[in-house]
Structure 1
Amino acid sequence: MPKEVFFNLSDEKREKIIFVLKEEFKAKPFQKVNVKEIVEKAEIARGSFYQYFENLEDAYFTILEKETVDIHGLFMKIFLLKDKNLTEALVEYGKEIADIIFDENAYMIYKNRYLYWNEDLNRSWESSHKHQEELFQDMSMDLEKIHFIKSIVHSLIERLFRESWNKEQFIEKYIKHLNWIEKGVIYGNC
Structure 2
Amino acid sequence: MPKQTFYNLPEDKQQSLLEASRIEFSRAPLHEASISNIIKMCGISRGSFYQYFEDKEDAFYYLLKEHSKQRQEMFITFLKESDGNIFEATTRLFELTLEEFEKEENRSFFKHVFLNMNHKIQSTFTNGETEDRFLKYLNDIKEYIDKDQLQTNDEEELYHAIHLVRMLMFNNIIRHFAKGLSKEKAMENFTMELNLLKRGISK
Residue 151 of structure 2: aligned partner: none
1:128 deviates by 7.8
Tell me how far apart the structure 2 counterparts of residues 102 and 68 of structure 1 sit (CA, whole Å): 18
Instruction: Describe the shift of the 1:44–1:69 C-alpha distance in structure 2 as closer, same or farther (beyond 3 A).
Output: same
Specify the SS of the correspondent of 1:165: coil
1:79 deviates by 2.0
- The answer to which of 175-184 and 120-129 deviates more is 120-129
1:43 deviates by 3.4
1:119 deviates by 2.5
> Are residue 176 (structure 1) and residue 192 (structure 2) matched?
yes
Residue 64 of structure 1: aligned partner: 64
Instruction: Describe the shift of the 1:149–1:12 C-alpha distance in structure 2 as closer, same or farther (beyond 3 A).
Output: closer
- The answer to which of 168-177 and 83-92 deviates more is 83-92
Instruction: Describe the shift of the 1:124–1:51 C-alpha distance in structure 2 as closer, same or farther (beyond 3 A).
Output: farther
The C-alpha deviation readout for 1:151-173, integer Å capped at 9, x for no partner, is 11111000000000111111111
TM norm structure 2: 0.75
- The answer to which of 2-11 and 138-147 deviates more is 2-11
Residue 108 of structure 2: aligned partner: 108
Tell me how far apart the structure 1 counterparts of residues 37 and 130 of structure 2 sit (CA, whole Å): 26
Tell me how far apart the structure 1 counterparts of residues 78 and 96 of structure 2 sit (CA, whole Å): 10
Tell me how far apart the structure 1 counterparts of residues 11 and 84 of structure 2 sit (CA, whole Å): 41
1:21 deviates by 0.7
Residue 158 of structure 1: aligned partner: 174
Contact kept? 1:27, 1:108, Cα under 8 Å: yes
Instruction: Describe the shift of the 1:105–1:37 C-alpha distance in structure 2 as closer, same or farther (beyond 3 A).
Output: closer
Matched pairs, number? 187
Instruction: Describe the shift of the 1:96–1:11 C-alpha distance in structure 2 as closer, same or farther (beyond 3 A).
Output: closer
Specify the SS of the correspondent of 2:98: helix
Is there any run of 5+ residues in structure 1 with no aligned partner, and where? none
Contact kept? 1:69, 1:100, Cα under 8 Å: no
Specify the SS of the correspondent of 2:105: coil
Is there any run of 5+ residues in structure 2 with no aligned partner, and where? 144-154
- The answer to which of 83-92 and 21-30 deviates more is 83-92
Contact kept? 2:3, 2:52, Cα under 8 Å: yes
> Which residue type is aligned with residue 61 of structure 2?
F
Contact kept? 1:76, 1:136, Cα under 8 Å: no
TM norm structure 1: 0.79
Residue 136 of structure 1: aligned partner: 138
Specify the SS of the correspondent of 1:44: coil
Instruction: Describe the shift of the 1:52–1:90 C-alpha distance in structure 2 as closer, same or farther (beyond 3 A).
Output: closer
The C-alpha deviation readout for 1:72-95, integer Å capped at 9, x for no partner, is 443333223322223332333333
Specify the SS of the correspondent of 1:179: helix
CA RMSD of aligned residues (A): 2.9
- The answer to which of 26-35 and 151-160 deviates more is 26-35
1:111 deviates by 1.5
> Which residue type is aligned with residue 25 of structure 1?
F
Tell me how far apart the structure 1 counterparts of residues 115 and 202 of structure 2 sit (CA, whole Å): 30
